[in-house]
Amino acid sequence: MFNKALVKDLMAKKGYTLESLAYELTSRGAQITKAGVASWFRSSGVAEPKDKSKQILAEILEVTLSQIEGIEESEIKLDSKDIRNVGLLEMRAGFGTEGTLDPDFKVERCIKLPQEFLGKVNAKYAKIIQCYGDSMLPEFNDGDYILVEMLGGRDYIKRPSIYLVRLGDVVYIKRIEFLPNNDIRLISINPAYPPFLASETGYEWEILGAVYGKISVKLGSGFQFSEQGVKGK
């Protein structure tokens, strides 16, 4: 994994450009070009630094390798009764890009989260998924970690809100409007992306989970939680 949002933030704070970061990485033994560094931040989320580059990157930006690779669990220092283990899904979802469905919903690892973050989310069904793309800007950014309550075929109140939705074998995070005749309208927050109907795609659709917010880690501040999702919007 690669926490591109954190790296972008640290690059800006320390005054690194793509070119200067590539130079610094190369001077410390990594073999990378400016174009290679730029590929780490593309919305597709496909390219990632190699392990050696990640380690050097952590040294340059003065953070831990765990922070470069994702959410660092050691940021949380709470009594065990105040935390919950929430699975980070191996699959990724798309804001504008296309995430690929993992029908088994395999968990990459567990993240320790404060109970207060879960709020109304049933801990039994809580999952975290990382998402890529720009169609949900400005509320959600490329690389954000999203807190989802997986539905698993359970009944739920069909109200306009933000959901993890499957279209065929592709998974998205979108604002959903439920329509008659078992159809839905998928809406992006970014006005550059027009809404569309599930029926127009020709694929079977399914609501996989309800989005309750995004989770991020801020250097020196630990976990941050933003409530974007099921709030009756």
What is the domain class of 4-69 according to CATH? mainly alpha
Q: Residue 126: which of 139, 140, 107 has the closest Cα?
A: 107
Task: Encode pLDDT of 29-59 as tens digits.
Answer: 888 898 988 888 876 556 788 888 888 998 9
Tell me which residue of 134, 120, 154, 125 sits closest to 227, measured CA to CA.
120
What tens digit of pLDDT does each residue of 75-113 get?
Answer: 444 455 677 888 989 999 999 888 999 999 999 888 878
Beta strands (DSSP E) in the chain are 83-89, 93-94, 99-100, 107-114, 126-132, 145-150, 161-167, 170-179, 183-187, 196-197, 205-218, 222-226
> Regarding the domain with residue range 74-226, which homologous superfamily does it belong to in the CATH classification?
Umud Fragment, subunit A (2.10.109.10)
Give the residue, 62 or 210, on which the prediction is more confident: 210
Q: Is the pLDDT of residue 222 over 70?
A: no
Q: Residue 41: CB partners within 8 Å, gap ≥ 6?
A: 4, 7, 8, 142
In this predicted structure, the answer to whether residue 172 has a pLDDT above a threshold of 50 is yes
Q: Is a pLDDT exceeding 80 seen at residue 229?
A: no
pLDDT at 188: 96
Q: Are 86 and 110 contacting, i.e. CB atoms less than 8 angstroms apart?
A: yes
What residue segments make up the domains of the chain, in order of their start? 4-69, 74-226
pLDDT at 183 over 60: yes
User: What is the arithmetic mean of pLDDT over 7-28?
Assistant: 89
